[in-house]
A and B are shown apart, each in its own frame.
Chain A
């Protein structure tokens, strides 16, 4: 390709058009967007260099200029710097506003230093004061400060690790004071008030302690706790040992009396505090003024202990809250912090309950000696010795007394006597008591309960599923192979030998009925028989089965059993490589295994494969109506044939044929008419007209749905 192909006819001039594959995507985009650059607003424009590469990756938000009118590093810039002086990176343009800001900052700092209030909390206050400050400062707007201002001192040096301006307690005011309190408690208590007093509430609201707000929301009017008692209360934790507390305002008049009363005089309502004590319970006493708290509390006889201090600064209501705190319980001196598990038997009680009766010793002296010795050993050693003896005694008839043979009662008695002698040391009991829990296995428990263990099944595991949807007889014949060594079902037992399909189904029925084994969860096999036929056949099968049973009675059982798997053999020769005998082989190869299932190909898939849809006209699995089936069988077949002749635009028609059963139910008369038309139409028409008919039908079917 190119200019050289036809040299005779033409000559090419100019640069050839670039082939698209050769240019990189980047360059192409640059060319395409070249014209658009000016049209965009500044913030949308992308910075690109000559080659079209983007510059300034990342979160570049502007700031092209640096220095006074972009003079950083240039000669003019340096000159300016010398002239103006270094001013903490502020440009000259901002100087006017800046000086105002500066002076405001200074004023704020001074205010803070005087009042000892933290910076951020007083923003609101300060902001309200701002206008007043502004006037004082306007005069100095022309001045330029020579140097950057350094705060004189920082009242509260930053000791936390989060960023500047981040307030961790923004949405949790309760915890702010708590944290502060915890901090301040470690410090000097005398300074408590000073720092505490400086704390202002963010607002005068109260937020219910149990509720929070979402991350994206702010505290608002709605979050106010309307059920709060409406006043600020202060609680401080005071230790039980009063010596540690040193708060000056703390009244401990009754300490001597052992009652720790603590009521602080209500302080100035301007400074309200909120603190919570850990284990306190609110106790509201209405209508009590602050000053009279002491006497009130005493008169009420409240056992206020633990140094709870409460005071109320009446804000909205005149109620006060008293918080009670209770001391830990008295621990007895001999308390040992270890859990004692109850022994399986309590010797003391057991002995009184289960004293076995006095029994004369057995005749045989050797047995008697054995019993006594055994009893002594078991009494001393425990239950496991008895078990050990039991094990040994399985063969020895002399030890039958252990398991209830002769002399058992004498043994029991002896055992009890021995144990009685050793009272005070808990010993596991003898025969009658239940065995200790750690030896109670499933088998033992089963024995106790009197269960019989299940027989382990030794029949061969037939993992085949024999249910098969056989629709064509040919298939059956293919898979029928003469069994190798087995007696086939004798002729007499083949009631339906003339109809192999039916015979197969009969054998299937027998297998299902009489044999166990795994069956796969197959869907109902689609058969060509109608319901009535199937039911009738089933009855036939049952009758035949009974006949066979009667006939087999004379025959020995094993052979009849043999015949059943023999039937299996007939169908699946070596799918499982099962041996012909029932005797189970331990190592039987189970792979490869074959299992058939029903699978519905999509109608269009069938069409593309040029295959007749096996489930055509049957609708979905749920709808199986014999009348519609037969109807559509005829019409559907016509459809398939017509379209198999190579029409290509009928993807829509196929679904409608499947949907037709539904349409039938919806609109009665309209579709009924159409169906008749179709059955008429399909007899002699050419493919195209049939298609038209179908299309028309589709349209009218749709209309029909709308109208009815």
Chain B
């Protein structure tokens, strides 16, 4: 769906080869760009501590959200487009109201920078992954700003987290991709041996894509943990990876400045 780059402007790519539009506005690096659930809007997180909501189809900047004290690392919008959750290097996770642009709640609990944050299916839980080797889950429905669960079995910084209906999957720099099955009460550790930067789920939810810092993207079977495929194409580190929601293709971005589409 989206990829991140360290350019000074967010470039939305509708088609794999043509740059359709350039969304300029951020002062400094853009750390992450995410589409919302229906794909009509995209959100960009910048090193300038702001979040910007764009309409990529028209190229207009809809709103700017300023509240973070340090760079914003990730953002996720709820399925009803009413709420946003963003995390940053200031150890805070902000829960925004989209229309008013105000922070409804600040989730605290991480001891260090927060790398990734996600809503769950019902927008009731916010799960975040941080540099402090933990994955924390926060409850949106209650009034508390403390985590309801902390997972600290990781050995190193957790770089990304994704949620399914019944699982929390997180990839960490210690080389493991851990799946926490809530229904089974089980933690499955898949040790890949290389630091995992970013993970993504295939659209049939059977496969897990893990992007490792040795410039390879590994396709794992979620149920067995078997390595199905390795993709080596980028010359340098792959920074982000994403799967198409409907088609069977995958998008990766890298430090070498290129975005690749894989089938």
A interface with B by C-beta (< 8 Å): 469, 471-472, 478-479, 526, 572-575, 590-602, 604-606, 608-612, 614-615, 648, 651
Query: Which residues of A lie under 8 Å from residue B142 when comparing CB positions?
Result: 651
Cβ of B148 within 8 Å of any chain A Cβ, yes or no, is: yes
Please report the C-alpha to C-alpha distance between residue A458 and residue B211 in the assembled complex, in whole angstroms: 35
Q: Do A591 and B149 have beta carbons less than 8 Å apart?
A: no
Q: Do B190 and A592 have beta carbons less than 8 Å apart?
A: yes
Question: Can you list 27 A-B pairs, Cβ within 8 angstroms, ordered by A?
Answer: A478-B223, A526-B185, A575-B225, A591-B191, A591-B193, A592-B190, A592-B226, A594-B188, A594-B224, A594-B225, A595-B188, A595-B189, A596-B189, A597-B187, A598-B185, A599-B151, A600-B185, A601-B182, A602-B148, A605-B137, A608-B120, A608-B139, A609-B121, A609-B165, A614-B184, A615-B185, A651-B139
1/0 per residue, CB under 8 A from A, across B128-145: the answer is 000000000101011000
Q: Do A592 and B193 have beta carbons less than 8 Å apart?
A: yes
Chain A residue at minimal CB-CB distance from B64? A21
Please report the C-alpha to C-alpha distance between residue A592 and residue B226 in the assembled complex, in whole angstroms: 7
Q: Do A648 and B192 have beta carbons less than 8 Å apart?
A: no
Cβ of B232 within 8 Å of any chain A Cβ, yes or no, is: no
In chain B, positions 152-210 with a C-beta closer than 8 Å to chain A are 153, 165-166, 175, 180-194
Please report the C-alpha to C-alpha distance between residue A600 and residue B125 in the assembled complex, in whole angstroms: 17
Interface size range on B against A = 35 or more
Q: Do B190 and A593 have beta carbons less than 8 Å apart?
A: yes
Query: Which residues of B lie under 8 Å from residue A612 when comparing CB positions?
Result: 183
Q: Do A599 and B187 have beta carbons less than 8 Å apart?
A: yes
Min distance, Cβ B37 to any Cβ of chain A, angstroms:
18
Please report the C-alpha to C-alpha distance between residue A611 and residue B153 in the assembled complex, in whole angstroms: 23
Q: Do A592 and B122 have beta carbons less than 8 Å apart?
A: no
Chain B residue at minimal CB-CB distance from A604? B148
Chain B residue at minimal CB-CB distance from A593? B191
Q: Do A595 and B191 have beta carbons less than 8 Å apart?
A: yes
Q: Say whether chain B's binding surface is mostly helix, strand, loop, or mixed.
A: loop
Given contacts A602-B148, A608-B124, contact A592 B220 (CB under 8 A): yes
The 6 closest A-B pairs by CB, nearest first: A594-B225, A599-B187, A591-B193, A614-B185, A602-B149, A608-B124
Query: Which residues of B lie under 8 Å from residue A610 when comparing CB positions?
Result: 122
Please report the C-alpha to C-alpha distance between residue A574 and residue B57 in the assembled complex, in whole angstroms: 45
Q: Do A594 and B182 have beta carbons less than 8 Å apart?
A: no
Q: Do B141 and A469 have beta carbons less than 8 Å apart?
A: no
Q: Say whether chain A's binding surface is mostly helix, strand, loop, or mixed.
A: loop
User: 10 more A-B contacts (CB under 8 A) besides A594-B225, A601-B185?
Assistant: A574-B226, A592-B192, A594-B190, A594-B224, A596-B189, A597-B189, A599-B151, A602-B137, A602-B148, A608-B139
Please report the C-alpha to C-alpha distance between residue A171 and residue B211 in the assembled complex, in whole angstroms: 65
Query: Which residues of B lie under 8 Å from residue A572 when comparing CB positions?
Result: 224
Residue from the set A526, A591, A592, A600 with the largest chain B CB neighbour count within 10 Å: A592
Q: A605 is contacted by which of B125, B190, B194 (Cβ under 8 Å)?
A: B125
Query: Which residues of B lie under 8 Å from residue A526 when comparing CB positions?
Result: 185
Q: Do A604 and B139 have beta carbons less than 8 Å apart?
A: yes
Given contacts A573-B224, A575-B224, A651-B142, contact A609 B190 (CB under 8 A): no
Chain B residue at minimal CB-CB distance from A595? B189
Cβ of B227 within 8 Å of any chain A Cβ, yes or no, is: yes
Query: Which residues of B lie under 8 Å from residue A591 when comparing CB positions?
Result: 175, 191-194, 227
Q: B141 is contacted by which of A574, A590, A597, A608 (Cβ under 8 Å)?
A: A608
Please report the C-alpha to C-alpha distance between residue A469 and residue B185 in the assembled complex, in whole angstroms: 10
Given contacts A574-B224, A608-B125, A608-B139, contact A592 B218 (CB under 8 A): yes
Chain A residue at minimal CB-CB distance from B185? A614
Query: Which residues of B lie under 8 Å from residue A600 when comparing CB positions?
Result: 185
1/0 per residue, CB under 8 A from A, across B95-113: the answer is 0000000000000000000
Residue from the set B121, B180, B186 with the largest chain A CB neighbour count within 10 Å: B186
Min distance, Cβ B245 to any Cβ of chain A, angstroms:
21
Q: Do B188 and A611 have beta carbons less than 8 Å apart?
A: no
Q: B182 is contacted by which of A573, A611, A651 (Cβ under 8 Å)?
A: A611
Query: Which residues of B lie under 8 Å from residue A597 when comparing CB positions?
Result: 153, 186-189
Chain A residue at minimal CB-CB distance from B164? A609
Query: Which residues of A lie under 8 Å from residue B226 when comparing CB positions?
Result: 573-575, 592
Please report the C-alpha to C-alpha distance between residue A310 and residue B186 in the assembled complex, in whole angstroms: 83
Min distance, Cβ A409 to any Cβ of chain B, angstroms:
61
Chain B residue at minimal CB-CB distance from A472? B184
Q: Do A605 and B183 have beta carbons less than 8 Å apart?
A: no
Given contacts A479-B224, A605-B125, A608-B122, contact A592 B191 (CB under 8 A): yes
Given contacts A479-B224, A651-B139, contact A611 B183 (CB under 8 A): yes
Q: A599 is contacted by which of B121, B186, B190, B191 (Cβ under 8 Å)?
A: B186
Query: Which residues of A lie under 8 Å from residue B124 when comparing CB positions?
Result: 608-609
Chain A residue at minimal CB-CB distance from B220? A592
Chain A residue at minimal CB-CB distance from B137? A605
Please report the C-alpha to C-alpha distance between residue A599 and residue B142 in the assembled complex, in whole angstroms: 24
Q: Do B185 and A599 have beta carbons less than 8 Å apart?
A: yes
Please report the C-alpha to C-alpha distance between residue A216 and residue B175 in the assembled complex, in whole angstroms: 52
Query: Which residues of B lie under 8 Å from residue A590 when comparing CB positions?
Result: 193
Q: Do A594 and B120 have beta carbons less than 8 Å apart?
A: no
Min distance, Cβ A592 to any Cβ of chain B, angstroms:
5
Q: Do A596 and B190 have beta carbons less than 8 Å apart?
A: no
Q: Do B189 and A594 have beta carbons less than 8 Å apart?
A: yes
Please report the C-alpha to C-alpha distance between residue A257 and residue B148 in the assembled complex, in whole angstroms: 91
Chain A residue at minimal CB-CB distance from B165? A609
Min distance, Cβ B117 to any Cβ of chain A, angstroms:
15
Min distance, Cβ A596 to any Cβ of chain B, angstroms:
5
Please report the C-alpha to C-alpha distance between residue A604 and residue B223 in the assembled complex, in whole angstroms: 26
Min distance, Cβ B229 to any Cβ of chain A, angstroms:
12
Min distance, Cβ A180 to any Cβ of chain B, angstroms:
55
Please report the C-alpha to C-alpha distance between residue A595 and residue B225 in the assembled complex, in whole angstroms: 9
Q: Do A599 and B180 have beta carbons less than 8 Å apart?
A: yes
Chain A residue at minimal CB-CB distance from B163? A609
Query: Which residues of A lie under 8 Å from residue B153 when comparing CB positions?
Result: 597, 599
Min distance, Cβ A130 to any Cβ of chain B, angstroms:
59
Min distance, Cβ B127 to any Cβ of chain A, angstroms:
9
Min distance, Cβ A524 to any Cβ of chain B, angstroms:
13
Query: Which residues of B lie under 8 Å from residue A615 when comparing CB positions?
Result: 185
Residue from the set B148, B175, B182, B194 with the largest chain A CB neighbour count within 10 Å: B182
Query: Which residues of B lie under 8 Å from residue A472 when comparing CB positions?
Result: 184
Chain A residue at minimal CB-CB distance from B191? A593
Min distance, Cβ B200 to any Cβ of chain A, angstroms:
16
Query: Which residues of B lie under 8 Å from residue A611 when comparing CB positions?
Result: 166, 182-183
Chain A residue at minimal CB-CB distance from B121? A609
Please report the C-alpha to C-alpha distance between residue A648 and residue B141 in the assembled complex, in whole angstroms: 8
Min distance, Cβ B165 to any Cβ of chain A, angstroms:
7
Q: Do B149 and A605 have beta carbons less than 8 Å apart?
A: yes
Q: Do B220 and A598 have beta carbons less than 8 Å apart?
A: no
Q: Do A596 and B188 have beta carbons less than 8 Å apart?
A: yes
Q: A592 is contacted by which of B148, B165, B182, B225 (Cβ under 8 Å)?
A: B225
Query: Which residues of B lie under 8 Å from residue A595 when comparing CB positions?
Result: 188-189, 191
Chain B residue at minimal CB-CB distance from A599? B187
Please report the C-alpha to C-alpha distance between residue A594 and residue B177 in the assembled complex, in whole angstroms: 9
Min distance, Cβ B100 to any Cβ of chain A, angstroms:
12
Query: Which residues of B lie under 8 Å from residue A574 when comparing CB positions?
Result: 224, 226
Q: Do B225 and A605 have beta carbons less than 8 Å apart?
A: no
Query: Which residues of A lie under 8 Å from residue B218 when comparing CB positions?
Result: 592
Please report the C-alpha to C-alpha distance between residue A282 and residue B194 in the assembled complex, in whole angstroms: 71
Chain B residue at minimal CB-CB distance from A590? B193
Q: Do B189 and A609 have beta carbons less than 8 Å apart?
A: no
Q: B186 is contacted by which of A469, A479, A573, A651 (Cβ under 8 Å)?
A: A469
Chain A residue at minimal CB-CB distance from B120? A609
Chain A residue at minimal CB-CB distance from B193? A591
Residue from the set A593, A594, A611 with the largest chain B CB neighbour count within 10 Å: A594
Q: Do B224 and A596 have beta carbons less than 8 Å apart?
A: no
Q: Do B166 and A609 have beta carbons less than 8 Å apart?
A: yes
Query: Which residues of A lie under 8 Å from residue B190 when comparing CB positions?
Result: 592-594
Min distance, Cβ A641 to any Cβ of chain B, angstroms:
16
Query: Which residues of B lie under 8 Å from residue A599 when comparing CB positions?
Result: 151, 153, 180-181, 185-187
Query: Which residues of A lie under 8 Å from residue B181 when comparing CB positions?
Result: 599
Query: Which residues of B lie under 8 Å from residue A592 when comparing CB positions?
Result: 190-193, 218, 220, 225-227
Please report the C-alpha to C-alpha distance between residue A599 and residue B151 in the assembled complex, in whole angstroms: 9
